[in-house]
Structure 1
Amino acid sequence: MRPLLAACLLIFAASALADDAPRGRLPKTAEPLHYALQFRIDPAADGFAGVTTIRVRLNEAADHLWLHGDSLSVEKVDVTDAAGTAHTGKYAQAKDADGVARIDFGKTLPAQTIDLRIVYRSRYDEHLEGLYKARHADKPYVVTQMEPISARRAFPGFDEPVFKTPYDVTLEVPPGQKGVTNAAQKSAVKLADGWTRLTFETTAKLPTYLIAIGVGPWDVVDAPPIAASRWRDKPVPLRAIAAAGEGPRLKEILGATPQIVAALEDYFGYPYAFGKLDLLAAPDFSAGAMENAGLIIYRDTLMLLDANSPTQLRRSSFEVNTHELAHQWFGDTVTMQWWDDIWLNEAFATWLENRITGRLRPENRADLGMVEGAQYAMRADSLASARRVRQPISGVGDIEDAFDSLTYQKGAAVLGMFEAWLGEETFRSGIRNYVREHEFGNATSDDLIAALAKAGDRDERFGKAMKSFLDQPGVPQVTTSLSCDGGKATLALSQQRYFPAGSKGDAAQRWGVPVCVRLGYGDKTSVQCELLDQASGTMTLADGCPDWYLPNADSRGYYRIAMPAAELGKLTAAVDKLAEREQLGFADAIRAGFERGDVDVAAALAAMRQLAPSKTREISTSLFGTFNWIRDYLSDATTRPALDAFATSLYLPRLRELGYAQRAGENSDDALMRSALAEFLARDVENAQVRAALVEQGRAVLKIGDNGHLTFSAANYDLLGTTLSITVQELGAPAIDALVAEIGRQSDPTLRASMIGALGATRDGKLGDRVRNYVLTDAVKLGEVSRLLGVNQSHPENHAAYWTWLKANFDALVKRMPAKGEGRLVERASDGWCAAAQEKELVEFFAPRAASLTGGDTALARAREKIALCVARREKQGTAGLAAWAKANPPAL
C-alpha cells in the first residue's frame, strides 16, 4: 500500500468545494441501480484501498452529480456513458456538508444510465464507524458499522436509506485472513502477491447502511442449516464468527437462532430473505448489535457465552439476537424512506423482540420487560425538550439523536397499545400485508398505519390516534375521578401532557388515547375501554361502583395516570389483586406522582413496602430509583439511618435466603433477584454486612491463580461486577492495581466489562483521577470508555471530581468516543446534579462546545432541564415530610 500522506493531502485539496452542496437529502438528479465494491484490506495496515463502481440512472441532463464520500482520498474517477464512451471525472468533497461530495463529468450528459468507477484509499476510522480496526488478544481485525451515515466513510455512494440496490462485493485479504460480507462466498483466488481475492454472491436490494464486512483471523463455526419451513423451501446456511480462539463460545447463540428465525417466519408469514445467515462477534463495537442483512454484527460480549456467563448476559444475548433477526424483515426487507421513520425499524424490532422472547423463553418475563421499557421511555418523554418519535431530520445530529428510548421503547409501546386496540390477529394481518406490499423496497409510517387500519376495518380515528403518539412529543397524563350516585357509577376522564413539578412545558396537548380501566368488585375484576380523543370525557361503568380501579388495564397504554388521593389509596391497598404487569403500572403511578409532587415521601415508601414482598424481581425492585432519589437528595445524617433500616428490613431477609453463591439447579429469576438485591443493598444502602460478604469474594478473586490470571471462579459470576466494585471501594489502590494488571493480559470481553466497571466505582479522589486517566490510554477499548466513565460519574461522591477532570481532558476524551457517544458526554457530566449553580457551570462550559459534538445542542438542552427539574422536585417535596416519616419509623436498635 502506498504511504497515506499524499492521500491525506488530496483530501484537504478536495475540501475547497463551493457552498452549493446539498444539506440533508440528495437531489433526485441521479439514483444508483447497482454497486460493485472492491476492497483491499490488511488489518495490520493503517488503511485500505477500494474501487467502487456504481451504475447510475441520470434522471435529467447534468454535468455533475452529488453523492456521499467522507475522508476518502480519490485517485481516479472514470465516467462511462450509455454508449460505452469513457470520460475522466473529477471528485471533490464539500466543506462542512456531512460527507457530501460532487463528481463532475467534464461535459453535460443527457438523461441515461452511466457507470461511475471511483478508485480511492482511506485510513481506518478511529471512532468505530465505517470501516474500522479492532484488536483481540493483540491481533487486529477490521469490522464495519455503517448505520446511520458511515457507509460514506468506507466507500463513495448514495448514503441514504431510500436508495436500495443489489451489491457485488470483492475482498482482497492477506495470507491467514478470512473475509465475510452480506452474501455467501462463491470463489477464492490466490493472487501473485500471496493475497486472496474473495468474491461473493450478489446481494438482495439493500441500502448502504446495511452493508457489512469483516476481515481477520476469524474462528468460523458452521452450524446445521436452518431447516426449510412452510414459508421457505430451502435451508438457510448458518454460521457464527468470532476472534481467533473464541469459536467454542459460540455454541449457545447458534443453538438459539433457528427457533427464533422459525418463529419470525411464522409471525410474518414470509420467509427469511437473505440466503445465508452469519453472526459475527466484533472485538470492539459502538452499539449492542447491528442488523446487517445476512451478516449481523454483535458486541462480542453478547455472543461469547459459556457456563460462567452471568444470567443477565445470557438473557440479553437471546433478546438482542431476536431483535436483530426481527430487523431482517422490518428494516432490511422493508426499509424506511428517510431517518425520520427510523422508528419503523427499531420500535417494531423492540416490540417483536419481546413478543418472540415471551413465546420462546417465558422465564425471561419479556411481558414485564415491555412495561419497564415503556416506563423508561416515559421518563425521557416527560421532558419539555423531548422530541417526537417522527422527528424532522435537519442534520447529522438529528439522525444520531433519533436512536434513543423514544424511538425504541416508546415506539414499541405505541405498537403494543394499538395492537391491543385492534386485536392480535388483526394487527398481525396488517403487518403481513405491509411486508408483502413493500418487500425489498421502502415504506413510511403512513404506509404502516394504512395497512393496520385496513386490516382492522377502522375509520380515520385510528390513523389520527396513532399519529398523535408519533407526530408530537410527550406522554399523556390521564386524570380520573370516580362518581357513584344512586347506583350509577361514572368515571370522569381528562387528558393533558404529563410534566414533573417545575416544568415550563405547555400541558395543553391532546392524543387519541385508548383508555382501558381495570375495575375491582370483591374477588372479581372487569375491564372497560374508551377512546379518549378529546380534552375530557366520561365512562359509564356497566357493573356499578367498583371497590377500586386501575386506569391502565394490563399496563398496555402509553400514558401516565393521576387519581384523587383517596382513590389511589384504595388501589394501593388492593395492589396484590393486580396482575404483575399492572403492579408495574401502579409503581409507575407512584413514581410519576412523586415526581409531579402529588405523592409525598410517606406514600411513596408505603407503596415500596407493598411491592417489596413480591417474588417477582421486576415488581419487588420497581421503586428502587425513587428510594435512591429520596436518599440522595432529601435525607441527611438524621434521617438516612431510618431510610437505610427501612430498606434493609424489606430486602436483606430475601438476600439472606438466596445467599451469595450460586445454587445447583436454581432458576434464573433467583439469580437475577440476588444480583439486584446485592447491588442495591451494597451500593445504594451501603449495608455493611452485604459489603463485607462481597469483599470476601473480591479478595479471593484478586489472588493470581495457576493460569496466571485473577481467580474469577472464586466469585459468583452473576455478582462479579458488584463484587469487584465494592472491593475497589473498600480496598482502594491494591484492588485497582490488580485489576489494571489483569485488564492488560485479559481478552475475555465479559470479564473485562466487569473489571472496567469496577475501576469506575472508586470514590477516592486521587484514585478517581487515576482511573479516569486510564480511559485515555489504549489499554481501554473505545467501546469500554463509556462504561468506566458512566459508573464513575454515577456515584454522587464523584460528581465534583469528575467534572473537574472532564473539563481538563475534554478534547482528549472526545477523540476516544464514537460519534454517537459525543452528545452523551454532556448529559453524563451532569447526571445527578441538582443545584441551579451547577446548571450555570454546565452552560458556561458546554455552550461554546455543544455545536461541535454530534447531538450536542439537544443533549445540553436535556441536561439543563433535568437539573432544573431535580431542583424543583427537591423544593416541592422538601425535607419535612421525610423527617416526619423517619420520626414515625425509627431504625430498630
Structure 2
Amino acid sequence: MHRNLSRSRIAAAVVLALASLTSHAAPAAAPQASASHALSTTTQLPRGVTPSHYALSLTPDAQAATFTANVTITVDVAAPTRSVTLNALELAFVGATAEGAGGTQQASRIDVDAATQTATLHFAQPLARGKHTLAISYSGKIGTQATGLFSLDYDTPAGRQRALYTQFENSDARSVMPSWDEPDYKATFALDVTVPSTQMAVGNMPVASSTELGNGKKRVAFAVTPRMSTYLLFFGLGDFERATAMADGTEVGVITKKGALAQSRFALDESAALLREYNDYFGVRYPLPKLDNIAAPGRSQFFGAMENWGAVFTFEYSLLLDPAISTQSDKENIYTTLAHEMAHQWFGDLVTMRWWDDLWLNEGFASWMESRATERMHPEWNTALSSVRVREGAMSRDALATTHPVVQRIATVEQASQAFDTITYQKGESVIRMLEAYVGADTWRTAVRSYMRKHAYGNTVSNDLWREVDAAAGKPVSAIAHDFTLQPGVPLIRVGEAVCKAGNTSVTLSQGEFTKDREQKKPLSWRVPVIAQTVGSDKLARVLVQNGKTSLTVPGCGPLLVNAGQSGYYRTLYAPKQAGALASSFATLPAIDQLGLLSDSQSLGMAGLQNPADFLELVKATPLQADPQVWGKVAGALNNLHDQYAGDQARQRRFDDWAIARLAPVMAQTGWQARAGEAATVATLRSQLIGTLSDLGDPAVIAEARRRHAAAGSDPSAMPAALRRTILGVVAQHADGATWDQLHAEAQAEKTPLVRNQLYDLLASSDDPALARRALALALTDEPGLTNSPAMISRVSHAHPDLAFDFALAHIDQVNARIDASSRSRYFPRLAAASGNPAMLDKLAAYARAHLAATARGDADTSIADIQYRIKVRAQRLPAIDTWLAKQS
C-alpha cells in the first residue's frame, strides 16, 4: 500500500488465541509451516481448521449497492469439531454445508459476532479429522468508501458512471467473503463473477472463460491464483479499457475508465521497465502471467494505491498523466507509486509477514525498493537526495513519546490499521538504507535473494530476513537491526572536539537519545554504524558506536563531517567549534550532506540542544547555486517557522520579511518560465518557491500569480500545465469572495475527475476564515462527491486546524458517513494536528475518550504530542529567533 495509509473497519479488542495451528496446505514450491511457526503465529481465530482453497462466485448489483455470493472453501480439520469459526463482517447468511469423507451435512445454525467480526458454523455431527469443503451462501453490501467492495461514481461527457473495486487490506476481505482473513492463512483463490455483458471485469489472474448468460449478463471466471493472503484478492468492474505490453514474458497492463487510456502511457512503459529490473534484483521472476495497474477516479484520505497481486489498485492522480494539468512532481509521484506497489509483488505478496507486528517487512521494504528503483532508473531526477527527507519524516514522529518500535505488538484490527504509519514506512526504509550501507549493496542483495527463494509463497517474521543478512555479511548484523527495529526512538551521536595530528583527525563519539518532549529521559542504547570524513577528503572512516562511546580517527585535517552520505539513522550534535567549522565550509559540502546538516540543525535547535538561530546561519550560508533540492529544503523549513509564528501577526511579519528576502534571489534565478533543457529538480523547485512565497505573503509572487490567472483566457502560455495548479493555488489561497465564486463555478462545470478534484481542493485552501467556512459547508453537500468531502475538510485544516476540527466534530455523523469506520480514529485527530492552541489539547482528549477505544488512540495521542511540542517551541525557541532577526540588517 502506498504512503503510510490503510483501510479497514473498527473491531473491538480480541483476546489472542495462542493454541497450536495446523500447517497450511501449499504448492510444492511453498515451504510448509513448522511446528514452532504454528505455535508462535498470532491469530484471532480458533486454531484447528485451515483453508487451502476458496472458490468464490460473486454477483454484484451496482445500482442497488448489494451483492449475493457463494463460496466453497477447502479446509483441513486437525481434530474433530462441531463448529468452524471464520471472519465475517456485515454479511447476511443464507445457509452453509460441510462435505467430507463422512458425507454432507447442513449447518444447524450460524452465529454472527459483530464485535469480533466472526461467524461460527455449527454442525450436529462433528467434522472428522481431514479434508472438507464448506459451501456458504450469503449476501452483503457495496459501500461508497474505499473499503471492502465499493463503488466510485464519476462524470463523463456521456453522463454519470459507476465502477466497482475492492480494497481488503488490512482486514476487509471478510466483508465480501467469509474467510480466514489473516495474512498467515494463505490459500489459492478461484473467482468467478456474474456481471453486465458490456462491462470489463478484472481480477488478480487473467480471464479463464467468459460465458454470455442472456439478459445482458455474462459469467467471467478467472484463473486460479497462487497461494496468497486474503487481503490481496481483487475484483474490479466498470466501463474500462486496457493497454498492454510484454515484459520478460509477463503481460503488463494499465486499465482506465474509457477515454483516459492515453494518459496511462507513462505508467505502462515504466511498469514494463520496473518488472525487468525487479526480476533481476530479486533473483525470483514475477510468478503471475499478468500484472495490471487499475486507475480509479476519486481518492481516499489514507492510501493512494494497493498491491493486490497481479491487479494493483491506484487512484488516478497517482497513475495517470494528464498533459493539461500534470507536473514534474506528478510524474515522479506516479513513478514512485508504481515502484512501491510493484516491489510489493515480491515483498508482501510472494513473501508475506505472518502477522501485522511485522508489517514493515512489507511497507518498509517496498518504500526502500521504491527509492532505490527511482534513483537507479531515473538518475536525472536526482532522487538520492530525498533519503534525507524520508529520514526526517520518520525522526519527527520517532522523537515523540508517542512513538513505537518498527516491529510492534498488534492486538486488534484497529491497531493493524493504525500501523500503516511513518514509523513502519519511513523509519523502516531508513533503517534498511543504513544496514545496506553497513554491509554493502551486493551483500544486501545476496541476502534479499536468499530470503525470497527460501520463503516464496510463505510467511515470515523479521528474524527470517536477519538470518539471511547475517549469513551473507559474515557478521552479526541482526544485533544492530534489533536495536533499531525492536525499540523506538532516535539515537543522538555527540561529536567531541577534534584533534588533528600527523594528518589524521581523532574525536570521541558518544551515544545518547534525541527526543523532542522528554529532556530528562534516560537514553536507550543502540549499536550505531557511523560513517565519517573530513571536508575536502574522499576517504571515509567507519566505526560502530556501541556501549555508549567510541573513538574515531579520520584521514585528513579539515572540518569533521559525521554521517557522511547521510545513510545513518541518528542525529549528530557537534561541539561548538566543530559546528562552526562545518558552517564555514557549508557551501563546499555535497548536497546530501548540506541537507543532513540543515535537518539536524533545525531539529536540534527546536529541541533546545543548540541555538535555534544556528539553523538560520546555515540558511544564510546556502549559496545561490546550491542544488535545487537544498533550496527546496530551505523553503520548506522557512515555511515551517512561518507556521510556528501563527497567531502573532507582528512577529510573523518580521520573520516573513527576512525569509522573503532570502528566497527572492532564488526565485529570480529560477524564474516563472521553464527553460529549455532545465533539470527536473528546477521545475519542482519553481513550484515550491512560488507556494512558499505565497504562504509568506510575498506581494510580488501573489500579484504575478493573479496576473497570469487573469491573462490565461487570452494567453494559454500564462498558465502552462506545469504551473497551472501552483498558480491556481496562490489565487485560491488569497482569494476574495468573487474569485472564490469563480473557482466554484469552474469546479461545478468540470467533468474530468482529476481536474475536478483539484478545483474542490482549491476551494478549501483559502487563508480567509470566512471562505474556509463556506468550503466546510460545501464539503457536506452532495456536490463535491463523497470522496472529495473529507479531503476538503482536511484541506481546510492546513490553514485553520481549530476551525476544521470544531466543524467536523459539530457534524460528526455527517462526516463519519463519508469516511470508513476505522479511519475515524485517524481522521479527526489529524484535522487538529497543526493547531498551536492549548485549548485543542482538551478538545482532542475529550474526543478520544468519547469516541475511541483505549487501544485506538495512537493518532490522537500523537496529535496531542505534536500540539504540545508546537506550544513549547513557540514559548521557548522563537525568542532566540526574534533576537537573531533583530540583529540582521
Same fold, judged at TM 0.5 (above): yes
Q: Structure 1 residues 451, 819: closer, same or farther in 2, change over 3 A?
A: farther
Residues 1:744 and 2:712 aligned together: no
Aligned position for 2:35? none
Deviation of residue 712 (structure 1)?
Answer: 8.3
The match for 1:283 among 268, 290, 297 is 297
TM-fit CA distance, 1:273: 0.9
1:114 maps onto 2:132 in alignment: yes
**1:206 matches 2:219:** no
Question: Is 1:43–1:215's contact at 8 Å kept on the other side of the alignment?
Answer: no
What SS class does the counterpart of residue 670 from structure 1 fall into? helix
SS of the residue corresponding to residue 833 of structure 1 reads: coil
1:63 equivalent to 2:75? Answer no
**Which of the residues 7, 32, 37 maps onto 2:51?**
32
Q: Which among 316, 334, 345 is matched to residue 300 of structure 1?
A: 316
Q: Is the alpha carbon distance of 1:74 and 1:266 closer, same or farther for their aligned partners in structure 2, counting shifts above 3 Å? A: same
Describe the superposition over 1:481-534 as per-residue Cα deviations: whole angstroms up to 9, x where unpaired: 13428768532222222112x4367342011211111223xx324321111221
Residue 182 of structure 1 deviates from its aligned partner by 0.3
AA partner of residue 291 (structure 2): L
Match of 2:269 among 248, 252, 255: 255
In structure 2, C-alpha distance between the alignment counterparts of 1:638 and 1:68, rounded to whole Å = 58
- Mapping of residues 547-558 of structure 1, within 5 Å: 547-558=558-569
State how far apart, in whole Å, the 2-side matches of 1:397 and 1:714 are.
48
> Deviation of residue 130 (structure 1)?
0.7
State the partner residue of 1:8: none
Report how far residue 450 of structure 1 moved.
0.3
Going from structure 1 to structure 2, the CA distance change for 1:392 and 1:713 (only over 3 Å counts) comes to farther
For residue 341 of structure 1, the aligned residue among 358, 363, 368 is 358
2:246 to 225, 243, 260: 225
Q: Does 1:268 align with 2:282?
A: yes
Q: Deviations over 1:712-739 (max 9, x none)?
A: 8752333333322322243323333233
Letter in 2 for 1:694: A
User: Among residues 670, 677, 687, which one is paired with 1:658 in the alignment?
Assistant: 670
C-alpha contact 1:612 1:619 (8 A) present in aligned 2? no
C-alpha change, 1:20 and 1:291, in structure 2 (3 Å) is: closer
Is 1:773 matched with 2:794?
no
1:793 aligns with 2:797: yes
Residue 371 in structure 1 maps to residue 388 in structure 2: yes
Q: Distance in 1 between matches of 2:434 and 2:610?
A: 27
Q: For residues 47-102 of structure 1, give each alpha carbon's deviation from its aligned partner in whole angstroms, at most 9, with x where no partner exists.
A: 111111100111111111211110011111111123442333532221311x2221
Shift of 1:575: 1.8
Taking structure 2 as the reference length, what is the TM-score of the superposition?
A: 0.91
Structure 1 segment 691-702 matched on structure 2, within 5 A: 691-700=702-711
TM-score for both structures, normalised by structure 1: 0.90
The structure-2 alpha-carbon separation of the partners of 1:718 and 1:827, relative to structure 1 and needing over 3 Å to count, comes to farther
Assess if the C-alpha contact under 8 Å between 1:479 and 1:561 holds in 2. Answer: yes
Distance 2:706 2:438 in 1: 51
Code of the aligned partner of 2:60: I
Distance 2:589 2:732 in 1: 42
Between stretches 508-517 and 206-215, larger displacement belongs to: 508-517
Matched position secondary structure for 1:54: strand
Distance 1:134 1:606 in 2: 51
User: Of 499, 519, 522, which residue of structure 2 is paired with 1:484?
Assistant: 499
Q: Is the 8 A contact 1:724 1:754 kept in 2?
A: no
Distance 1:532 1:160 in 2: 40
Counterpart Cα distance in 1 of 2:381 and 2:456: 32
Distance in 2 separating the partners of 1:146 and 1:504 = 42
Deviations 1:396-441 (A, max 9, x none): 2210111111111110111111111111111100100000001111
Aligned residue for 2:46, secondary structure, equals: coil
Alpha-carbon distance in structure 1 between the residues aligned to 2:400 and 2:757:
31
Hey, what's the Cα distance between the residues in 2 that align with 1:698 and 1:439? 55
Contact persistence 1:24–1:394 (CA under 8 A): no
- Report the AA paired with residue 834 of structure 1: G
Contact 1:239 1:278 in 2 (8 A): yes
Deviates more, 1:248-257 or 1:744-753: 744-753
State the match for 2:861 in structure 1.
Answer: 861
CA contact (8 A) 2:48 2:79 kept: yes
CA–CA distance in structure 1, aligned partners of residues 698 and 136 of structure 2? 64
Q: Residues of 2 paired with 1:641 and 1:279: CA distance?
A: 47
In 1, the alpha carbon distance for the partners of 2:664 and 2:489 equals 38
**Aligned mate of 2:551, from 527, 538, 546:** 538
Root mean square deviation of aligned Cα? 2.5
Secondary structure of residue in 2 paired with 1:206:
coil
Query: How much does 1:612 deviate?
Result: 5.7
Counterparts of 1:763 and 1:224, CA distance in 2: 46
Look up the match of 2:426.
409
Paired residue for 1:76, among 92, 95, 105?
A: 95
Does 1 or 2 have the higher relative contact order (CA < 8 Å, sep 6+)? 2
For 1:129 and 1:253, the matched residues in 2 are separated by 24
Change (3 A) 1:713 1:783: farther
Which residue of 511, 522, 540 maps to 2:526? 511
2:49 aligned with 1:47: no
1:642 and 1:889 in contact (8 A); partners too: no
CA distance in 2, matches of 1:713, 1:34: 58
SS at match of 1:389: coil
Match of 1:244 among 258, 265, 270: 258
Per the alignment, in what secondary structure is the counterpart of residue 45 of structure 1?
A: coil
Please show how residues 459-470 of structure 1 align to structure 2 within 5 Å: 459=476, 462-470=477-485
Distance, in Å, in 1 between the alignment partners of 2:15 and 2:613 is 61
Partner of 2:767: 763
1:726 corresponds to 2:730: yes
The 1:505/1:883 distance shift into structure 2, 3 A limit, reads closer
- Give the counterpart letter for 1:214 in structure 2: G
Deviations 1:342-401 (Å, cap 9, x if unpaired)?
101111111111111111101222211222111111101111110111110011221011
SS in structure 1 of the partner of residue 555 of structure 2: coil
In the aligned structure 1, how far is the partner of 2:651 from the partner of 2:357?
A: 48
Tell me, yes or no, if the aligned pair for 1:327 and 1:345 is still in contact at 8 Å.
yes
1:758-782: CA deviation from partner (whole Å, max 9, x where unpaired)? 1111133332222112222333344
1:813–1:426 distance in 2 versus 1, CA, 3 Å:
same
Q: How does 1:492-891 map to 2 (within 5 A)?
A: 492-500=508-516, 502-503=517-518, 506-520=521-535, 523-539=536-552, 541-543=553-555, 546-611=557-622, 613-634=624-645, 636=648, 638-683=650-695, 685-700=696-711, 715-795=719-799, 798-819=800-821, 821-851=823-853, 856-879=856-879, 881-890=880-889
Q: 2:175 aligns with which of 153, 157, 169?
A: 153
Matched-pair contact (CA < 8 Å) for 1:69–1:157: yes
Matched residue pairs, number? 846
Measure how far apart 1:326 and its partner are.
0.8
Cα offsets for 1:91-132 (capped at 9, x unmatched):
2221311x2221112222221111111111111023310100
SS in 2 for 1:482: coil
SS at match of 2:493: strand
Alpha-carbon distance between aligned partners in 1 of 2:258 and 2:627, rounded to the nearest angstrom: 40
